[in-house]
Amino acid sequence: MVVSDLKGQCVLVTGGAGFVGSNLVRRLIADGAVVTILDDFFTGRLENLRGVGPESYRLVRGSVTDSDLVRQLVSDAEFVFHLAARNIIASTRNPYEDFKTNIGGTLNVLLAARDYHPQRVIYTSSVSVYGNPRYLPINEDDRISLLTPYAVSKYSGEGYCQAFYESYGVSVVVVRYSNVYGPWQDPQNPYCGVVAKFMQRAQSGLPLEIHGDGQQTRDFTFVEDAVEATLQAALSPKSEGEVFNIGTGVETSVETLAHLVSDLYGLELVPLHIDRRDIDNIRRRVVNIEKIRRILRWVPSVTLAKGLCKTQQWLQTA
């Protein structure tokens, strides 16, 4: 039986020094969990944990590709939040490293979970697995279309989660994040998302760079909402073996996002349209969040406008 809260529970967060990971770590510590972070600092940063007392968590520098280390850490954990991954740009540039980290690392976590039986493994996947959908909004059981090495590896991790749940009884849940943004997303990081890049340029008074025509759409999710949904998936007995979209159900074009950011900074939008990237192969995206609302009673609480404002406030004090 999964516990009702995480107070006093030993929790492992792989990728805990990353953007979403560090936000999750802050929440877990606030909730009284005993937190261990595993991070290889490929994109994670110690700076992301600024303001969190080092006595509040245990930090292990290492990779999920190290099977012995993973086994050691999982053996002590009641809950495993597996966020460590090469992201979409890094994966496209180096598919082999993507394979080793995203697929091999996930297999290492699940093999350890099979042997040591934590109460729950929470695997963070991505709506990238849907590719260009036939219908909108996208349901969890809609057609999968793997257009990037990153999508392949994240979906492979999902497959291993399902197989270990069915074959070995490992308690797992999969959450598919949609374009998460917010505090601690580093705009200096070449792998970060469009919101952080737009806000950095707006803060400097520079024109916002839009890849392509700007009519491509996404479902932008504030990081606090993503963390809350992830915790609910971790704690609910109803989520075991399930896959959930985590988004807002609101479709927003990149051009509209650029207008919102420009307005926030009191700037006149003069977009700079530049070439599409090799990862810019999704035209429209918005997810259906009815399943997580129905089963876990979760709905997002932060609108895009409010989330951008909260992110701006954070940037001004960062």
| CATH number of the domain enclosing 270 | 3.90.25.10
Residues 121 and 205 both lie in one domain: no
Res 263: pLDDT: 94
Structure tokens at 279: 């990862």
Instruction: Tell me phi and psi for residue 217, to 5 degrees.
Output: -120, 155
Cα gap 26→4, rounded to integer Å: 19
130 in active site: no
SS3 content of the chain, % helix, strand, coil (to 5): 45, 15, 40
Res 269: pLDDT: 78
**Is residue 264 one of the residues assigned to a domain?**
yes
Residues 141 and 204 both lie in one domain: no
| Cα-trace Rg, the chain | 19
Residues 234 and 276 both lie in one domain: no
Interacting residues of 55 by C-beta distance below 8 A, sequence separation 6+: none
| Range 230-262 burial, b when 16+ CB lie within 10 A, else e | bbbbbbbeebeebbbbbbbbbbbbbbebbebbb
Residues 232 and 90 both lie in one domain: yes
Residues 125 and 89 both lie in one domain: yes
> How confident is the prediction along the chain (318 residues), in pLDDT tens digits per residue?
677 899 999 999 999 999 999 999 999 999 999 999 999 999 999 999 999 998 999 999 999 999 999 999 999 999 999 999 998 888 888 999 999 999 999 999 999 999 999 999 999 999 999 999 999 999 999 999 999 999 999 999 999 999 999 999 999 999 999 999 999 998 776 656 899 999 999 999 889 989 889 999 999 999 999 999 999 999 999 999 999 999 999 999 999 999 999 999 998 877 788 776 666 678 999 999 999 999 999 999 999 999 999 999 999 887
* Total domains, the chain: 2
Domain region containing 207: 194-217+251-285+305-317
Cα gap 227→183, rounded to integer Å: 12
Residues 236 and 311 both lie in one domain: no
Q: Which amino acid is at 91?
A: S
Residues 155 and 270 both lie in one domain: no
Active-site option among 130, 150, 160, 181: 150
Q: What sign does the CA torsion over 90, 231, 261, 185 have? A: negative
Res 218: pLDDT: 96
Residues 124 and 159 both lie in one domain: yes
What is the pTM (predicted TM-score) of this model? 0.96
